[in-house]
C-alpha cells in the first residue's frame, strides 16, 4: 500500500469515466476531503463532455497521467463512475509511482489494472457519492488511507468455513468485461468482493455464468457479496429474485461465501482495500482485513 496520507497532502481529482453531472454532490464530496486538511486540486477539464464520457479519451488520459506522474500528488480521487475508464487503459502504462487511487463501480478497471502492478487502491465512494455515506463509513475510508485499522464487516454467512486470501473488490459487470483481457488479474488465492446496480436478475445470471464457464471461479478461495441494488425484475415479469440468482449460480462452488455486506451502490459503501490479505468467515458472516 502507499504511505499513509496526512493532513496537508496534495490530492488530485480526475474524471476518467462518465461525464460529471451531479455537481452539487461532487462539491460536497470534495469539501469532505478538504475538511480533513487535504489540498484537493481539481482538473481543469473535470466538467468536459464527449458524448457520455467526461471528455475525449486523450483528455482523460492526460488527467490520469498528470496526476499519477506529479511527485507532489499523494493520491487520486475519482469524481464519479459511469463508463469509460477501460478505454483509457488500452495503451496505458503505469509508471513506478506509488500513490492512492480511490473509487468504485467503473473505477474497477483502474483498480484492477493497478493491482496487476502490485499496487493497492481503495474500492470506496467516489466524490459524487461520498457525502451520502454514514459517518462510520466515511471514517472507515479515512482510517484506511491514513494508516489506521478498519473494523470487520458483518453480512450473512452461507457456510463453508473460514478462508484467508487476497481481497479483490469489483463491480460485477465491469469486472466481467475485463475477463480475457490484459487487465484480468490472477485469481489464484483471491477473495472476490462483488457488487452491482441496475442489472436485471437474468443479466446477473448471464454474468455469473460467464465467470463459471471461464473457469476462473475454480481458482477463487471465497466470495464476499455486497449490495445488488435496483436489480429486481420489473413487476409482472416472470423471474427469480436477485437473491435467488446469486444462490443458484454460486452456492454449489463449495467455497466460503458471505452476502449482504455493506458495500456497493445506493447505500453504505464501506471502503475495501484492493490487494490486501483478508479473512472471510462464512459461518459468522464476517469479512475482516
Grid-cell match 470506496, residue found: 124
- Tell me the catalytic residues: 105, 195, 265
> Would you state the cell numbers that stand for residue 112, as one nine-digit string?
484492477
Q: What does each C-alpha distance from 140 to 13, 62, 69, 270 come to in angstroms? A: 20, 31, 27, 7
Query: Do 32 and 125 contact (CB within 8 A), yes or no?
Result: no
Report phi then psi at 111, rounded to 5: -65, -40
Three-state SS at 10: strand
Residue 211 zone, left/alpha/beta (φ > 0; ψ -120 to 50; rest): alpha
Three-state SS at 262: coil
Grid-cell match 460485477, residue found: 172
Query: Using CA atoms, how far apart are residues 198 and 74, in angstroms rounded to an integer?
Result: 34
Grid-cell match 459503501, residue found: 269
Backbone Cα Rg of the chain: 18
Amino acid at each position: 500500500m502507499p504511505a499513509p496520507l496526512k493532513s496537508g497532502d496534495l490530492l488530485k481529482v480526475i474524471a476518467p469515466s462518465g461525464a460529471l453531472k451531479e455537481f452539487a454532490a461532487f462539491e460536497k464530496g470534495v469539501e469532505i476531503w478538504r475538511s480533513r486538511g487535504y489540498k484537493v486540486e481539481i482538473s481543469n477539464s473535470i466538467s468536459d463532455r464527449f458524448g457520455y464520457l467526461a471528455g475525449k479519451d486523450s483528455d482523460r488520459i492526460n488527467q490520469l497521467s498528470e496526476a499519477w506522474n506529479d511527485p507532489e500528488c499523494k493520491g487520486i480521487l475519482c469524481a464519479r463512475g459511469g463508463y469509460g475508464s477501460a478505454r483509457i487503459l488500452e495503451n496505458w502504462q503505469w509508471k513506478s509511482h506509488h500513490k492512492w487511487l480511490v473509487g468504485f463501480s467503473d473505477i474497477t478497471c483502474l483498480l484492477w489494472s493497478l493491482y496487476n502492478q502490485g499496487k493497492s487502491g481503495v474500492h470506496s465512494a467516489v466524490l459524487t457519492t461520498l457525502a451520502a455515506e454514514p459517518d462510520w463509513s466515511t471514517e472507515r475510508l479515512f482510517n484506511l488511507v491514513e494508516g489506521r485499522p478498519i473494523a470487520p464487516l458483518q453480512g450473512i454467512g452461507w457456510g463453508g468455513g473460514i478462508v484467508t486470501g487476497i481481497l479483490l473488490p469489483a463491480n460485477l459487470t465491469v469486472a466481467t468485461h475485463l475477463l480475457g483481457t490484459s487487465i484480468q488479474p490472477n485469481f489464484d488465492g483471491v477473495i472476490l468482493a462483488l457488487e452491482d446496480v441496475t442489472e436485471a436478475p437474468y443479466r446477473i445470471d448471464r454474468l455469473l455464468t460467464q465467470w463459471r464457464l471461464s473457469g476462473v471461479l475454480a481458482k477463487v478461495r471465497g466470495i464476499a457479496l455486497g449490495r445488488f441494488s435496483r436489480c429486481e425484475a420489473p413487476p409482472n415479469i416472470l423471474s427469480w429474485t436477485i437473491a435467488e440468482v446469486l444462490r443458484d449460480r454460486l452456492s454449489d462452488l463449495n467455497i466460503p461465501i458471505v452476502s449482504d455486506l455493506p458495500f456497493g451502490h445506493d447505500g453504505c459503501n464501506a471502503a475495501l482495500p484492493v490487494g490486501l490479505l483478508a479473512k472471510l468467515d462464512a459461518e459468522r458472516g464476517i469479512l475482516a482485513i
